[in-house]
Amino acid sequence: MRYARIPDQAVQRLAMYLRAVLVLQDRGIWHVSSKDLAGQVGVNDWQVRKDFSYFGELGTPGVGYDLRKLQRDIRRILRLDKKRSAILVGVGNLGKAILAYGGFARYGLRIMAAFDNDPQKVGKVVNGIRIQDVSMLKRIASGKVSLAILAIPAASAQEVVDCLVDAGIKGILSFAPCPLKVPKKVRVVGIDIAMHLATMPYYLSSD
């Protein structure tokens, strides 16, 4: 079932709660108070309770939240309760780091194909995935894949994004340091490393 529209900030926090829940479960912990969970994520406990109210999770006074139920609930609301595949475009150092990273599985996410425009890379196998030519992007079975990670320079980003949208990709995580134009139905999250670093000096108290 689909829930009432949840604010983007809350969706991001829900993912952070899920991450914290997984970390706690790894430590063999089965229950957590909103206060402890808030501490893990760096928010106030009233924020935790408000966010959980989106899916009616109330916890048990004195016992707190059952982490197994919490994980199940958050996965359901974030639609991570089924396995999902993503593709990677751009297999430079960043792309290689992403292919080598094992952290996607815990969210039920899997990178099932990688693409690059460098003939030197096409055909090579990185972490068990054979790199295909970007021209093959058209062939993506949009029914099977809805997510893409973009690890390419700004220059070719929009062209590749248009191609991904045509192929039926609905969510794009982009490391290209530029704005991208997509139809309303497509979600883009941009991670511009230099720009993120550039937001920090504002907070430097002493200089």
Supply 150's token pair.
């973009």
Residue found by looking up tokens 């994980």 in the block: 71
How many residues in the shown chain lie near its own copies by CB under 8 A?
61
62 binding its own copies? (CB under 8 A): no
Among 25, 35, 36, 40, binds its own copies (CB under 8 A): 40
- What gap in Å lies between CA 159 and CA 182, rounded to an integer? 11
Rounded Cα–Cα distance for residues 118 and 59 (Å): 52
- Annotate each residue in 98-137 with x if it binds its own copies (CB under 8 A) or - if it does not, as one string: x-xx-xx-xx-x----------------------------
| Nearest to its own copies of 40, 117 (CB atom) | 40
Asked whether 22 and 71 are in contact (CB, 8 A), the reply is yes
Q: What minimum distance in Å lies between the beta carbon of 61 and its own copies?
A: 25
Strands (E), 17-103: 31-32, 65-66, 84-89
Asked if residue 155 binds its own copies (CB under 8 A), the reply is no
Residue 96 binds its own copies (CB under 8 A):
yes
Which one of 149, 160, 163, 164 is in contact with its own copies (CB under 8 A)?
149
Instruction: Count CB atoms within 10 A of the CB of residue 117.
Output: 15
Which string of b and e fits 18-34 if b means at least 16 CB within 10 Å?
Answer: bbbbeebeeeeeebbbb
Residues making contact with its own copies (CB under 8 A): 6, 11-12, 14-16, 18-20, 23, 40-42, 77-80, 84, 86, 92-94, 96-98, 100-101, 103-104, 106-107, 109, 146-147, 149, 170-171, 173, 177-179, 185, 187, 189, 191-207
